[in-house]
Amino acid sequence: LLQIDFEDVIAEPEGTHSFDGIWKASFTTFTVTKYWFYRLLSAIFGIPMALVWGIYFAILSFLHIWAVVPCIRSYLIEIQCISRVYSICIHTFCDPLFEAMGKMFSSIRATVRKEI
């Protein structure tokens, strides 16, 4: 996913490269150093970090499967009755009020004039 090239770090424009030998040696040094340090860091920290991230995602999956989803589903089941009562109240009281207000204000016309 992340690939860093020599040109991304050492950004000499096309027309202004240093001496060819210096440029090639710098490129080789950068590439080899990046390659071997990545391998060294992976060898030292790869297994411990894999262990840490494995534990973290196992805990996250466990909590999601056994706590979060059941709580959400339980809440949705319990709130369903209240939502039906709320919906009936809204349709009974608010819909006629807003329809009447809409009919009252539908005959209002506004015009905009620009005076110079």
Q: Is residue 69 part of a domain?
A: yes
Report yes or no: 33 and 4 within 8 Å, Cβ to Cβ.
no
Q: Which of 87, 66, 88, 84 is nearest to 76 (CA)?
A: 84
Report yes or no: 9 and 30 within 8 Å, Cβ to Cβ.
yes
Q: Is residue 89 part of a domain?
A: yes
Q: Is residue 14 part of a domain?
A: no
Element (H, E) at 58: helix 20-63
Q: Is residue 114 part of a domain?
A: no
Residue with tokens 């709580």: 71
Exposure on the CB side of residue 24, measured as CA atoms within 13 A: 3
Model confidence pLDDT, tens digit, residues 5-60: 766 677 666 767 677 788 788 888 888 998 999 999 999 999 999 999 999 999 99
Statement: the pTM of the whole predicted model exceeds 0.75: no
Q: Is residue 81 part of a domain?
A: yes
Domain that holds residue 80: 24-106
Number of structural domains, the chain?
A: 1
Q: Is residue 82 part of a domain?
A: yes
Model confidence pLDDT, tens digit, residues 59-106: 999 999 999 999 999 999 989 989 999 999 999 999 999 999 999 999
Q: Is residue 32 part of a domain?
A: yes
Dihedral, CA atoms, 58, 2, 44, 48, nearest 10 degrees? -10
- CA–CA gap between residue 1 and residue 49 (Å, rounded): 18
- CA–CA gap between residue 111 and residue 113 (Å, rounded): 7
